[in-house]
C-alpha cells in the first residue's frame, strides 16, 4: 500500500454500505483476538453498531462528523467525531468526542491513524471546540499509547457494553486551546 496516495474526505450518503463493511472489519481486527471478547458479544455489538441502517442514521445526524481515509478509492481507515458529547470528567464549554478512529490492520503504523487524528484535531479547533475526549478500552494498550502521543491523558473511566459484556474504558482528553494540531 502506497500511503503517499492517501486521501481524506467526508463521506457521502452512497458511502454508507462501504463504511458499514469497513467498520465491522476494522472493529473485528482490533478486538476479536482478545480471549475475553466472546464471539457472540462481538457479533451482537457489530450487528447493532455497524449495520448499514446504523451508519446511515449516524451520517444523517448533524452532530456526527465522519472522515474517511482512502488509498486508490479503498477505505483504509475512518474516524467519527460526536459534536457536543461529553462525560462527567470532561470540563469544557464546547467538547467534542473522538468516538471512533480505526484503521485496517495492514495500515497500522503507516501514517493513516496520524492523518485521521490530525484532521479531527483540525476540524475541532476550527469549530471552536475547547476539549477533545475519547473512550479507550483499558486493555487496548496500543491505542492508549497512540492517543498519548497526541497529548491525551486519562481523566476518568466509563463503561462500554460489548454485546452483553460491560467493559471498562479509560476516558482520555486533551485541551484544544493551545498547540492544538
pLDDT digits (tens, 9 = 90+) for 78-130: 999 999 999 999 999 999 999 999 999 999 989 999 999 999 999 999 999 99
Can you give the pLDDT at residue 75? 97
- Cα–Cα distance measured from residue 71 to residue 1, given in angstroms and rounded to the nearest whole number: 8
Position 4 scores a pLDDT of 63
- Residue 1, pLDDT score: 44
- pLDDT value at residue 37: 97
Q: In Å, how far from its chain's centre is CA 51?
A: 16
Measured CA distances, 83 to 75, 98, 111, 143 (Å): 23, 9, 25, 22
Q: Are 107 and 1 in contact (CB under 8 A)?
A: yes
What average pLDDT does this structure show over 45-61? 97
The per-residue pLDDT for range 32-50, each reduced to its tens digit, is 999 999 999 999 999 999 9
Q: How far apart are the first and last CA of the chain?
A: 26
As a whole number, mean pLDDT of residues 41-64 equals 97
pLDDT score at 177:
85
Give the mean model confidence (pLDDT) for residues 13-41: 96
**Structure confidence at residue 146 (pLDDT):** 97
Instruction: Say if CB 88 and CB 96 are below 8 A apart.
Output: no
- Tell me how long the chain is: 181
Contacts of 163 by beta carbon, 8 Å cutoff, 6+ apart:
38, 40, 41, 42, 43, 44, 45
What pTM did the predictor assign?
0.93
The band of 179, judged by pLDDT with boundaries at 50, 70 and 90, is low
Percentage of residues in the chain having pLDDT higher than 70: 96
Distance CA 158, CA 139 (A): 14
Amino acid at each position: 500500500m502506497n500511503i503517499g496516495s492517501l486521501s481524506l474526505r467526508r463521506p457521502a450518503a452512497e458511502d454508507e454500505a462501504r463504511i458499514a463493511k469497513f467498520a465491522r472489519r476494522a472493529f473485528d481486527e482490533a478486538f476479536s483476538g482478545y480471549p475475553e471478547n466472546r464471539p457472540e458479544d462481538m457479533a451482537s455489538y457489530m450487528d447493532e453498531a455497524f449495520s448499514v441502517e446504523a451508519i446511515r442514521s449516524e451520517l444523517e445526524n448533524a452532530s456526527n462528523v465522519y472522515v474517511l481515509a482512502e488509498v486508490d478509492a479503498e477505505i483504509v481507515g475512518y474516524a467519527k467525531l460526536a459534536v457536543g458529547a461529553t462525560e462527567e470528567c470532561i470540563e469544557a464549554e464546547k467538547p467534542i468526542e473522538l468516538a471512533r478512529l480505526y484503521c485496517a490492520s495492514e495500515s497500522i503504523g503507516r501514517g493513516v491513524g496520524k492523518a485521521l487524528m490530525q484532521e479531527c484535531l483540525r476540524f475541532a479547533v476550527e469549530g471552536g471546540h475547547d476539549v477533545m475526549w475519547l473512550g479507550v478500552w483499558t486493555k487496548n494498550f496500543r491505542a492508549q499509547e497512540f492517543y498519548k502521543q497526541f497529548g491525551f491523558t486519562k481523566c476518568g473511566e466509563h463503561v462500554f457494553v460489548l454485546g452483553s459484556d460491560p467493559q471498562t474504558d479509560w476516558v482520555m482528553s486533551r485541551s484544544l486551546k493551545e498547540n492544538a494540531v
